[in-house]
């Protein structure tokens, strides 16, 4: 029987007991439908994972007894920083989820000229919390022991100026492919646009900032397909799918 995994944002110590917060308690009771004495795998995003069992599951409290520590490292040797143009609804959710499954180290949602979704300050915070929750659950389900760092929504130009090392952006008109390149010291920055892609001005800004335009085959891919294909390709070329 598969044992569920749960992210806990607190220190974990063998022999100790922890009480989970309200959101995690709701997830345990309502989504996972776990019972007292059921086994659980815990991780706090700092490496490794812990085995335990529920010492109490009630309407008022969910508590876990921590029993064993297991040293596990499933992170890719390739550290990918992802700048992701904001797409509408499920497309963005799907891209964030799959990016975490494919091992990205960090994700920053980006505002670009062709973003269909426009967010005020309150909605920016709400959307970031929503995407962070998706990233957390993706890490729980795919077995990662570290969470991908999740940046605040940023302007494309500001984010590009802060990047270093091998920087690439997905461009159906690019002259090169990923196989033509080589990351520096196991680090790669990948920029992927929203539906509609980047404007010509943004493409020029990206090149001026040191980003290399690369194409993903001879077909034009949807935004969520392009980022999935690119992340799979870089893990095959330089990461843990080799």
Fold (topology level) of 79-238? Alpha/beta knot (3.40.1280)
Q: Are 134 and 150 in contact (CB under 8 A)?
A: no
Answer whether 212's CB lies under 8 Å from 168's CB.
yes
- What is the predicted pLDDT for the residue at 236? 97
173-183 pLDDT, tens digit per residue, is 999 999 999 99
Residue 2: predicted pLDDT: 82
The values of phi and psi at residue 220, to 5°, are: -90, 120
> In the chain, which residues fall in CATH 3.40.1280.10?
79-238
Helices marked H in the chain: 22-26, 89-101, 121-142, 156-161, 200-208, 223-238
Residue 26: predicted pLDDT: 92
Whole-model pTM: value is 0.91
| 3-class DSSP assignment, residue 134 | helix
Q: Among 83, 84, 98, 82, which residue's Cα sits nearest to residue 139?
A: 98
Q: What angle do CA 20, 23, 27 make, to 5 degrees?
A: 90
Residue partners of 205: CB distance under 8 A and separation at least 6? 156, 157, 160
- The CATH-assigned architecture of domain 5-70 is Beta Barrel (2.40)
Residue ranges of the chain with per-residue pLDDT less than 50: none
Q: What is the pLDDT of residues 22-34, one digit of tens each?
A: 989 999 999 999 9
Task: Name which of 111, 145, 152 is nearest 129 in CA terms.
Answer: 152
Which pLDDT belongs to residue 139?
95
């Amino acid at each position: 029987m598969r044992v569920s995994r749960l992210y806990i944002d607190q220190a974990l110590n063998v022999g100790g007991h922890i009480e989970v917060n309200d959101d995690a308690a709701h997830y345990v009771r309502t989504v996972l439908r776990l019972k007292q004495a059921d086994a659980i795998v815990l991780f706090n995003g700092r490496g490794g994972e812990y085995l335990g069992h529920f010492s109490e599951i009630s309407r008022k409290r969910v508590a876990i007894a921590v029993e064993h520590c297991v040293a596990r490292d499933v992170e890719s040797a390739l550290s990918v920083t992802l700048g992701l143009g904001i797409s509408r609804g499920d497309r963005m959710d799907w891209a964030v989820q799959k990016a975490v499954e494919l091992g990205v180290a960090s994700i920053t949602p980006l505002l670009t000229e062709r973003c269909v979704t426009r967010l005020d300050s309150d909605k920016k915070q709400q959307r970031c919390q929503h995407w962070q929750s998706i990233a957390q659950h993706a890490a729980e389900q795919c077995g990662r022991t570290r969470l991908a760092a999740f940046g605040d929504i940023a302007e494309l130009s500001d984010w590009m100026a802060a990047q270093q090392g091998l920087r690439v952006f997905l461009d159906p008109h690019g002259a090169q492919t990923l196989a033509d390149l080589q990351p520096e010291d196991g680090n790669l920055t990948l920029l992927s646009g929203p539906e509609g892609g980047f404007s010509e001005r943004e493409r020029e800004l990206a090149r001026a900032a040191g980003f290399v335009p690369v194409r993903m085959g001879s077909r034009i891919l949807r935004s969520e397909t392009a980022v999935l294909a690119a992340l799979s390709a870089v893990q095959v070329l330089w990461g843990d799918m080799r």
